[in-house]
Amino acid sequence: MPATASGGARPEEAAVTPSASASVASCMGTRPEELTARLAATGPAPGAGCGGSGAGVGAGGAEAEHERVRALREIKNQIIGNRTKKLLYLRLGAVPAVVAALAEAGASPAALVQAAAAVGSFACGVDDGARAVLAAGAVGHLTRLLTHPDEKVVDASARALRMIYQSRLAPKFDVNNGKNMDFVLSLLNSENENVTELAATIISHSCENSSEQLSLCSAGVPQKLVSLFGGSMNLRDACLDSVTAVIRNNREAASRFASTDRGKGFHSVLGLIHDRSPRTRLLACLCLIALGDASPCHFQDKQIKTKLITVLLELVEEPGDVGDEAPLALTTLIKDSLELQKQALTTNAVEKLSNHLLANSLETRRAVTILLALSELCSKLEESRSQLMSVEVSTLILEALKHDWADIRIAACSCLKNISRSPKVLSGGRLSCDTVIGPLIQLLYDSSTSVQVAALGAICNIAVNLTPRKSLLLHSGVVSQLVHLSKSMDPTLRLKSVWALRNLMFLLCPKDKDFIIKELTLSTLSSLICDSEHFVQEQTLALVHNLVDGYVDSANYVIGEDGMVTDAISRQLNNASSLGVCIQGMFVLANIAAGNESNKEAVMNILLPHRADNIKPSFVVNFLQSKDKQLRVATLWCLLNLIYPKCEASSGRIVRLQNAGVILQVKSMINDPCLDCKLRVRMVLEHCVDNADDCFM
Amino acid sequence: MPVRVVDTATPSSQSSPGQDTNAGHPSPPRCVTWNRLPRSALAGTRGISFAMVWDCFAGTQNVSSLQKDEAWKVNVRIHGCDLEQGYLCGTMEALNVPLADTPVSSDLLGGEIVDAKITHFSLASGKHREVPEDDIRHWSKFPHLHLFWWVSINISVIFMRSPFQKLELKCTNERSSGFTFSSYELQ
């Protein structure tokens, strides 16, 4: 849960109302430099450090204390909600002086309240402020003040600590430490709502790993948090956020929460999706989504999920953070679920989100989150893709590709990537036009790697264009940039650029294949086959099998004079580094083996090299014994092509395969559980018999 | 590659495999790739199933009605078949169709696959007023239906529910020395 939706730092900051001090300001000077100097000049309170309560402060001391309170109040009033002023005071070094005011044993409650409020404000929304506050040791002082006899001091300290713990820079609170757990529980059990809200904030901020989550569950924290739902709106929101943190990605914690007290907690959260406060509704939805993710068996009710979709779509209309975050929550909810995506479609999600997008500027965070939600809606459903392509939004997506803001460019690429999963779009080549391809290719040169990766995702899919317009993409300059990116230091860029080249190579004519290979070069191809990442190796081998598909001459690319590429493939297959690499490698060999006699012999020499020591069994036998049916199928296809009937030397190859134990292995697969394998096995054995008959005749 | 393409207008009027043999032109020995389940490549990358791809098929389309019997040559190219979603698409070219504006009429071919296991789409949807028992009895008449996967070397029949079409594809590979494979993978 982002901090923006976890209790509202800024409104809370503003809750400490600036005091009217105009009369003081008029006579004392209120410029930041003057105030900082005045605060420093007031120095430690008399009696500080001797454990006194300040009762013995004389008249001079009282005046100094009064002066300090006025200075603190003025600083606090100036910085609340004012980022520029905060940064100015930070530069002037005011934070240590303000924190020092908290440390003084003789400080008056009024000074403590003002200092705590100022510290909280410094920590709120400005990382440098939070850093300075933490460095000055504010957390320790504020924590000590939670036991102060004056309730106002406790309130102010709790509020300040809450703001500090809303910063990502705040230290984590290890609840596995018994003392810390006792402390959190004592805060949770406090009568003071500010203090219990602080406890909830600390839990949200600190609860990270599974053991912490389970410790909190064992201590009954989720139930305690649920019991606080009846408090103020801020407390309820903080508690909801905390419950989410405790159960997120933790099956056991989620399961315990959902089943304790006959699901009382679960039903309490469920009730809050109808709350009057939009933020509470959003947080309740997020809590239920986290529960469903962590423990799907406890959240199977389709009606509730449908309700969540409806609530989230309504929340998109809310102003501020809630409306910005609601599309993200919807994205999380429907992610990878065809059923929920269908459900969202029936509630007109695409239309509603599109309308919001059209009504808002692209400059907003909401536009980004809406685009991401639309992208997810198009990830599986053809109808969603059609809807999105048919409305004005498609024009807006193209505009977004050229936007200055990287986040919106990434979101637009994500939409195009998922739209282009459509077989209709691919068959019709609907995205293969200058208006789409031009901006996407520009993004391959983007300064942000994330944008480049996102653009590659869309290009990868659009490259699978099944119309003659494929040449438009091919000759748009994309190939040279993809080749450039395939040499990147970033493995994701290498993977995606090779992937795009593989899809671009799919069913190309010889002339176009030649064009790509000239740009790529066989030497780069060989390096990529032996890349450090096996995902890259796999895609490169898929690229090679598309290269040697269909035309006998194309095999010459890989079995040329120096055999650089075949050597690389042979090395990878002998190493058997990953399943995907082996499958793609075997399809490359199958394609080469479909060629002429010399091609078939080249493959035979990879499968069964003429070695003096014939001790090591061929990898072919291992592949045929693989548990993965795709690898078995690919290997069988390769064998089939090698012993294809009516080829001159097929019988010789069969003998070699028999001697190496390959045919014996194939015979043992006659009842392979995979029907496809079973069929290929029968074909191989039939070909063996046919070849034997031919030789006999 | 001799291929037959048969198109029938309604389920009840379809012919059984083996009828209407027509020879088409030879095509390269390209064939089926394979189908793969989704998997994650790297963090943030989600692969989705990739499609099988065939090359061109050719044949004759027969249209029979009370008024007339017509036949014209067709070329079919199957571009994609998403078995997970039960969707098949491609393009169909019809040559010298009577009363057509141009000598070659092209159209997108796409629809839902009726598969042997009736996993995705069957005629039992209610749209066609069949009951499941009728549906199973009806489809079990076609022994080659389960060969859908093996189109590269066998007679295969692809039934599509919406729009209803029956594609009967027979591929032979007599003049080649093997099959090659081509594939793409979507992100």
Structure tokens at B44: 């943030």
Among B55, B79, B178, whose Cβ lies nearest the Cβ of A594? B178
Q: Which of A440, A637, A640, A690 to mutate to test the interface with B (most CBs of B within 10 A)?
A: A637
Residues 6+ apart with CB under 8 A from B19: B6
Q: Which residue of B has its CA nearest to A549?
A: B180
Answer whether B26 touches A (CB < 8 Å): no
Answer whether A278 touches B (CB < 8 Å): no
Inter-residue contact A294 to A256 (CB < 8 Å):
no
Burial (0-12, 13-18, 19+ Cβ within 10 Å), A48 = middle
Among B30, B79, B149, whose Cβ lies nearest the Cβ of A550? B30
Q: Under an 8 A CB cutoff, do A594 and B177 touch?
A: yes
pLDDT for B82 equals: 57
Answer whether B30 touches A (CB < 8 Å): yes
Phi-psi region of A583 (alpha: psi -120 to 50; beta: other; left: phi over 0): alpha
The whole-angstrom distance between B187's CA and the closest CA on chain A is 6
Taking CB atoms and an 8 Å cutoff, what residues of chain B touch A551? 28
Q: How far apart are CA A263 and CA A298, in angstroms?
A: 10
Q: How far apart are CA A492 and CA A483, in angstroms?
A: 14
Residues 6+ apart with CB under 8 A from A80: A13, A14, A16, A18, A121
Q: Under an 8 A CB cutoff, do A587 and B178 touch?
A: no
**Tokens 């096995």 correspond to what residue?**
A681
Structure tokens at A187: 């805060």
Q: How far apart are CA A62 and CA A77, in angstroms?
A: 22
Give chain A's domains with CATH numbers: 72-171 (1.25.10.10), 521-696 (1.25.10.10)
Among B30, B79, B183, whose Cβ lies nearest the Cβ of A423? B79
Nearest to B95 by CA among B5, B1, B30: B5
**Tokens 């493939």 correspond to what residue?**
A569
Structure tokens at A401: 């590709």
pLDDT for B63 equals: 65
Q: Under an 8 A CB cutoff, do A590 and B181 touch?
A: yes
Q: Under an 8 A CB cutoff, do A596 and B108 touch?
A: no
Among A466, A640, A683, whose Cβ lies nearest the Cβ of B79? A466
Taking each helix axis from N to C end, the angle separating A251-259 and A264-271, rounded to the nearest 10 degrees, works out to 90
Supply the Cα-derived Rg of chain A in whole angstroms.
34
DSSP-derived secondary structure for A301-355: -HHHHHHHHHHHHHHTTSSHHHHHHHHHHHHHHHTT-HHHHHHHHHTTHHHHHHH
Taking CB atoms and an 8 Å cutoff, what residues of chain A touch B80? 423, 426-427, 466
Q: How far apart are CA A74 and CA A72, in angstroms?
A: 5
Residue-wise over B14-28: b if at least 16 C-beta within 10 A, else e? beebeeeebebeebe
The whole-angstrom distance between A657's CA and the closest CA on chain B is 17
Which regions of chain A are under pLDDT 50?
1-12, 16-27, 45-57, 696-697
pLDDT for A614 equals: 58
Phi, psi torsion values for B81, nearest 5 degrees = -145, 110
SS3 at position B167: strand
User: pLDDT tens digits, residue range B43-61?
Assistant: 222 223 333 333 455 666 6
Residues 6+ apart with CB under 8 A from A87: A126, A128, A129
Answer whether B28 touches A (CB < 8 Å): yes
Residue B148 in this model has a pLDDT that exceeds 50: no
Taking each helix axis from N to C end, the angle separating A338-346 and A320-334, rounded to the nearest 10 degrees, works out to 130
Burial (0-12, 13-18, 19+ Cβ within 10 Å), A543 = buried
Cα four-point dihedral sign A341, A344, A345, A349: negative
Q: What is the mean predicted confidence (pLDDT) over B111-123?
A: 47
Q: Under an 8 A CB cutoff, do A535 and B42 touch?
A: yes
Cα four-point dihedral sign A122, A127, A128, A130: positive
Inter-residue contact A238 to A200 (CB < 8 Å):
yes
Residues in A 635-674 with any Cβ partner in B closer than 8 A: 637, 640-642, 644, 647
Residues 6+ apart with CB under 8 A from A191: none
Q: How far apart are CA B54 and CA B49, in angstroms?
A: 16
Give the highest mean pLDDT range of A488-492, B26-30, B36-40. Answer: A488-492
pLDDT for A221 equals: 94
Nearest to A398 by CA among A350, A430, A376, A421: A430
Among A423, A550, A594, whose Cβ lies nearest the Cβ of B89? A423
Inter-residue contact B180 to A591 (CB < 8 Å):
yes
Q: How far apart are CA A407 and CA A394, in angstroms?
A: 17
Q: Which residue of B has its CA nearest to A539?
A: B185
Among A545, A546, A594, whose Cβ lies nearest the Cβ of B29? A594
Residues 6+ apart with CB under 8 A from A247: A213, A222, A253, A254, A257, A287, A290, A291, A294, A295
Strand partners, B88: B81, B111
Q: Under an 8 A CB cutoff, do A550 and B182 touch?
A: yes
Taking CB atoms and an 8 Å cutoff, what residues of chain A touch B183? 506, 542, 545-546, 587
Nearest to A121 by CA among A168, A72, A154: A72
Q: Under an 8 A CB cutoff, do B28 and A421 touch?
A: no
Q: How far apart are CA A557 and CA A61, in angstroms?
A: 91
Q: Under an 8 A CB cutoff, do A641 and B179 touch?
A: yes
DSSP-derived secondary structure for A126-163: -HHHHHHHHHTTHHHHHHHHTT-SSHHHHHHHHHHHHH
Taking CB atoms and an 8 Å cutoff, what residues of chain A touch B55? 550
Supply the Cα-derived Rg of chain B in whole angstroms.
17
pLDDT for B173 equals: 43
Q: How far apart are CA A639 and CA A594, in angstroms?
A: 10
Phi-psi region of A534 (alpha: psi -120 to 50; beta: other; left: phi over 0): alpha
Taking CB atoms and an 8 Å cutoff, what residues of chain B touch A634? 34
**Tokens 């070699």 correspond to what residue?**
A656
Q: Which residue of B has its CA nearest to A631?
A: B34
The whole-angstrom distance between B101's CA and the closest CA on chain A is 21
Cα four-point dihedral sign A219, A223, A225, A228: negative
For B87, the enclosing helix (H) or strand (E) is strand B87-95
Answer whether A266 touches B (CB < 8 Å): no
**What mean pLDDT, rounded, does chain B reach?**
48
Structure tokens at A344: 């969202």
pTM over 0.80: no
**Tokens 């009954």 correspond to what residue?**
A220
Inter-residue contact A101 to A109 (CB < 8 Å):
no
Among A464, A644, A679, whose Cβ lies nearest the Cβ of B150? A679
The Cβ of residue A146 has, within 10 Å, a number of other Cβ atoms equal to 20
Inter-residue contact A526 to A565 (CB < 8 Å):
yes
H helical segments located in A207-319 = 210-218, 221-227, 233-247, 251-259, 264-271, 278-294, 302-315
For A89, the enclosing helix (H) or strand (E) is helix A83-91
Answer whether B29 touches A (CB < 8 Å): yes
Q: Under an 8 A CB cutoff, do B180 and A549 touch?
A: yes
Q: How far apart are CA A670 and CA A688, in angstroms?
A: 14
Q: How far apart are CA A524 and CA A572, in angstroms?
A: 16
Q: Under an 8 A CB cutoff, do A587 and B181 touch?
A: yes
Among A535, A545, A641, whose Cβ lies nearest the Cβ of B178? A641
**Tokens 């089943």 correspond to what residue?**
A259
Q: Under an 8 A CB cutoff, do B178 and A596 touch?
A: no
Q: Under an 8 A CB cutoff, do B181 and A591 touch?
A: yes
Residues in A 107-146 with any Cβ partner in B closer than 8 A: none
Q: Under an 8 A CB cutoff, do B181 and A637 touch?
A: yes
Q: Under an 8 A CB cutoff, do A549 and B41 touch?
A: no
